[in-house]
């Protein structure tokens, strides 16, 4: 996971209970955006040793500018709403998600969710992140389907963010 870019506009970390994690990083390149997906061959959480010794698979792909900008906006809006939970629910199994956004002048924003309930904003944001991961790992013939999925989920999330 040390191969992740040092400076990213947003990151999305998927942490399943019993499998390898996945890290999505989206960052600017020239006049566009690139997305990188890193997946270790074994789970980082359960690894005993130096994390730098874990072999990872890596995929990179250019991301449409409009899509990347919408993703950055959605991450920012969601993370500005994030609040600490006094006593977060204890979840033993499932999938945890971490959402990270960096913006110059604002700094880092982050939040996490474990097993978000279907239909909730965190669930939709995780769905969007998973669609971006799928897009980056997809063969070119399947890319447009994932861009369409991202756009529909972004529409849904943006509409829900217009309400309290």
**pLDDT of 66-115, one tens digit each?**
999 999 999 999 999 887 776 666 667 899 999 999 988 888 999 999 89
Is pLDDT of 46 > 90?
no
Domains defined for the chain, CATH in brackets: 10-161 (3.30.1560)
The predicted structure's pLDDT at residue 47: 85
Token readout for 146 is 């994932």
**pLDDT of 104-137, one tens digit each?**
888 899 999 989 999 999 999 999 999 999 999 9
The predicted structure's pLDDT at residue 88: 63
Please give the model's pTM, rounded to 2 decimal places. Answer: 0.90
Is pLDDT of 147 > 70?
yes
């Amino acid at each position: 996971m040390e191969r992740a870019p040092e400076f990213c506009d947003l990151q999305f970390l998927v942490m399943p209970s019993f499998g390898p994690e996945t890290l999505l990083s989206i960052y600017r390149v020239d006049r566009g955006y690139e997305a990188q997906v890193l997946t270790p061959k074994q789970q980082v959480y359960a690894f005993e040793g130096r994390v730098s010794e874990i072999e990872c698979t890596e995929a990179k792909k250019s991301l449409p500018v409009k899509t990347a900008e919408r993703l950055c906006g959605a991450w920012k809006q969601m993370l500005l709403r994030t609040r600490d939970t006094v006593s977060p629910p204890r979840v033993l199994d499932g999938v945890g998600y971490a959402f990270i956004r960096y913006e110059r002048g604002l700094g880092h924003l982050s939040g996490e969710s474990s097993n978000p309930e279907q239909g909730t904003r965190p669930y939709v944001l995780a769905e969007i992140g998973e669609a971006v991961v799928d897009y980056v790992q997809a063969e070119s013939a399947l890319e447009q389907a994932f861009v369409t999925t991202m756009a529909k989920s972004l529409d849904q999330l943006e509409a829900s963010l217009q309400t309290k």
